[in-house]
Amino acid sequence: MASKYPFPGVWTQRVDRPQPPREISPSSMAVVGFTTKGPVNVPTRVSSWNEFVDAFGGLTDDSMVPMTGFQFYENGGQYIYVNRVVPAGSLTASIVIDAPTKWTVNHLYPGAYGNSIAIDIAGNQAFLNRTTYAWDRFDVFVLEPDQDGNLVASEFFEAVQFTDPSLSSYITKILDDPEQGSALVQFVIGAGGTPVGLVSTTIADEVIGVGAPPQTQFLVTLANSPVLTSTLRIVAPETQVDDQPQTPTLGTVGTDTNYTLTIPSAPVMDNSVRLFYQRLGIYNEALTPDTGVIGTDTVYVFDAATVANPVHRESTIFRLKYAKTAASSPETIGTIGGAPATFDLSTATGPTDLPVHPGTMSITVTISAAPQTITDTPLGDGTGTLAGTGGSLPLGGTIVYATGVMTGTTSSLDASTNVVATYNQSSVATKTDPIGDNMAQDVALAGAVVVGVTSTIDLVDSITSPATSGELKIECTSVPILATSFYIDYVALGIVNDDVDGNLTGIPALGTATPIYTNTVDFETGDLGMVLPNVPLALSTIDADYQTGQVVEDNGLGFLTGDIDPSGTNTINYETGAVNVTFTTAPLVGASILANYVELEDRIRWQLAGGSNGSGTITRAEVSDPALELSVEASMRSRA
């Protein structure tokens, strides 16, 4: 509308100079293009060159965008809206934790810069569980290179855990938090759980040396490290005790199966305790030789485990029997008078040649003018059963092979006939008593043997891990009779072993533990409780093998305490596992010096990889995307 003036003259009018729209400032600008890092296609306002570098990276030969930003701020610019675009085919860096995958850590944005990102996961010292030797919580560090290329922590998340997704401390809940989460990485769950490298490993009985008197100092490096503080325990055997009779505090040998006792000279060495007891008497156990033919040879070998049980060292019951001709056989052991009559075998006048060899007794009687035969079948108690053909021994009978005493009454036998016994006699081999050694090898046999290296027995199959009987060899003084068997009488050896944790196991298996009879041994006190599978033989003893010695432990500060020579260094480097220990006295010659400890890493790093800038070229289409232009414009207007 034209101006109106009230009368002629000179009038003045103020006209404002044109101004740019408020939303467009000469001190701000927007750039679209490639930067080495940062969010993609997300217009981001930055207010200084340092802020630009932190968010999008510094100067690079691959793009003018950072140089544009640098010059802008050098010339007084206030802020820039930066929209990062990346070439086609760009890849995002990542790292897989464990196999199978527990976690995948991804950089949030594509590009080669992600390869410079690293993740440190460290145990949080406030959450070290000394009962389970485990980290209950962890600290997570996200590291980026500084201007000198050194990795430094740019993000830190404290006291997170990987096992319980219901808690707010769960790793994904912490890092995915929209306000306080990570601006660099994302944890994607696979199988989940604590990374394997941060789970503790209990190392039991690692051999770190062998006793060689007079050596007392040992410089070693443990096979696993780092070592968790206050978990190192070194044991060095000093004395070997064999077959020491024990006095139970609860339980009576010959009556009970449950026992408690205290091993003298405690502490005892880990995994050195072994108990022996007389489990039961075995009689007339038939053996088949692995080498040698009965009826042909005199030398025989029975391999380990041929005898059904380990053999106790006692020598009173032990008998190895093979058949020889009985000089008096056949012999008349009874006569029927002028009238038919029964015959009581307990009144027999024979057999004369003792002991009778099991399985060879044959007694001939006559019934109705027909011969009938009574034969034996060995039992496991030193006796045999008798049975007859044709009803000749209607109620059966028995025979004691050692004495020849028989029981049983025949049916009516013909008048004026004889009762005739045909049998073989046992040649008997005995053994010496290896006093104080229930695991003795090459124990000499005596009696009906050719004494020497061809007549021995190994009581057990192994002196380190006995499980069954050992090898038995015999050279007979005569060829055993064809179609007969070897028989053995012995006391079966019961064995109780410990493990490194003090748990007891048995051969045969122990009974069910109770709160008192725990099937355990305390190495420090020597207290032991056990439930045997059967009552040991009366008048026998429970014997123990064990080692006494020296115990050294770390004090949590890198120094060793216990049975040490204070003039020594006596230290441990927890990081490297290097140990320098000097014992009070020289360990037992040839004995293994054992270390027990917990290995636990306190910090592990994973480096991301696989990120790529793709083709390396930003096309015009990528920069001129209409949707992208609208996004930039809208962002500037909303934040101006």
Q: What is the pLDDT of residues 352-381, one digit of tens each?
A: 999 999 999 999 999 999 999 999 999 988
Q: Which of 4-18, 196-210, 305-319 has the lowest mean pLDDT?
A: 4-18
pLDDT exceeds 90 at position 528: yes
pLDDT exceeds 80 at position 6: no
Q: Whole-model pTM?
A: 0.64
Which residue did the predictor score with more confidence, 131 or 266? 131
- Are the CB atoms for 386 and 394 separated by under 8 Å? no
At 196, is the secondary structure helix, strand, or coil? helix
Element (DSSP H or E) covering residue 68: helix 65-74
Q: How would residue 543 be classed by pLDDT, with cut points 50, 70 and 90?
A: very high
Q: What is the pLDDT of residue 20?
A: 42
Q: Pull the structure tokens for residue 450.
A: 């050719």
Q: Is there a cis peptide before residue 39, judged by omega within 30 degrees of 0?
A: no
Nearest to 84 by CA among 69, 106, 105: 69
Separate counts of helices (H) and strands (E) for the chain: 5, 39
Average pLDDT over residues 34-58: 91
Which residue did the predictor score with more confidence, 21 or 287? 287
Q: How would residue 500 be classed by pLDDT, with cut points 50, 70 and 90?
A: confident
Each residue of 138-188: pLDDT tens digit? Answer: 999 999 998 888 999 999 999 999 999 999 999 999 999 999 999 999 999
Q: How would residue 505 be classed by pLDDT, with cut points 50, 70 and 90?
A: very high
- Are the CB atoms for 552 and 233 separated by under 8 Å? yes
Nearest to 200 by CA among 117, 121, 130, 262: 130
pLDDT exceeds 90 at position 4: no
pLDDT exceeds 90 at position 347: yes
Contacts 24+ apart (CB under 8 A), 253-257: 253/277, 253/536, 253/538, 253/539, 253/540, 253/541, 253/542, 254/535, 254/536, 254/537, 254/538, 254/539, 254/540, 255/535, 255/538, 256/535, 257/511, 257/531, 257/532, 257/533, 257/534, 257/535
Average pLDDT over residues 604-609: 97
Distance CA 497, CA 528 (A): 12
Q: Which of 191-195, 225-229, 616-620 has the lowest mean pLDDT?
A: 616-620
At 623, is the secondary structure helix, strand, or coil? helix
Max mean pLDDT range (25-29, 34-38, 223-227, 239-243): 223-227
Average pLDDT, the chain: 91
Each residue of 203-255: pLDDT tens digit? Answer: 988 999 999 999 999 999 999 999 999 999 999 998 889 999 999 999 999 99
Q: What is the pLDDT of residue 625?
A: 58
Look at the alpha carbons of 19, 21, 24, 25 in this order and tell me if their dihedral is positive or negative. Answer: positive
pLDDT exceeds 60 at position 17: no
Name the DSSP letter for residue 588.
Answer: P
Q: How would residue 18 be classed by pLDDT, with cut points 50, 70 and 90?
A: very low
Distance CA 156, CA 185 (A): 12
Q: Edge-to-edge strands of the sheet including 185-189?
A: 94-97, 103-107, 185-189
Nearest to 277 by CA among 253, 247, 298, 301: 253
CA dihedral of 408, 414, 416, 418, whole degrees rounded to 10: -40
Q: How would residue 633 be classed by pLDDT, with cut points 50, 70 and 90?
A: low
Give every CB contact of residue 39 below 8 A, 6+ residues apart in sequence: 84, 108, 109
Q: What is the pLDDT of residue 628?
A: 56
- The CATH T-level fold of domain 94-199 is Immunoglobulin-like (2.60.40)
Vertex 197: Cα angle to 192 and 198 (nearest 5): 80
- Are the CB atoms for 56 and 41 separated by under 8 Å? no
Average pLDDT over residues 586-610: 94
Question: What percent of the chain has a predicted confidence (pLDDT) above 90?
Answer: 80
Q: Pull the structure tokens for residue 107.
A: 């950089």
Residue 571 backbone phi and psi in degrees, to 5: -135, 165
Distance CA 581, CA 220 (A): 9
Q: What is the pLDDT of residue 15?
A: 46
- The CATH T-level fold of domain 28-88+616-639 is Rossmann fold (3.40.50)
DSSP 288-330: --SB--TTT-SEEEE-TTSSSS-B-S--SS-EEEEEEE-TT-S
pLDDT exceeds 90 at position 635: no
Q: Which of 66-70, 126-130, 304-308 has the lowest mean pLDDT?
A: 66-70
**Domain regions of the chain by residue span:** 28-88+616-639, 94-199, 203-268+504-599, 327-422
Q: What is the pLDDT of residue 637?
A: 58
pLDDT exceeds 80 at position 25: no
Average pLDDT over residues 81-110: 94
Distance CA 85, CA 616 (A): 11
Q: What is the pLDDT of residue 634?
A: 59
Name the DSSP letter for residue 611.
Answer: -
Element (DSSP H or E) covering residue 407: strand 406-407
Q: Is there a cis peptide before residue 515, judged by omega within 30 degrees of 0?
A: no
pLDDT exceeds 60 at position 638: no
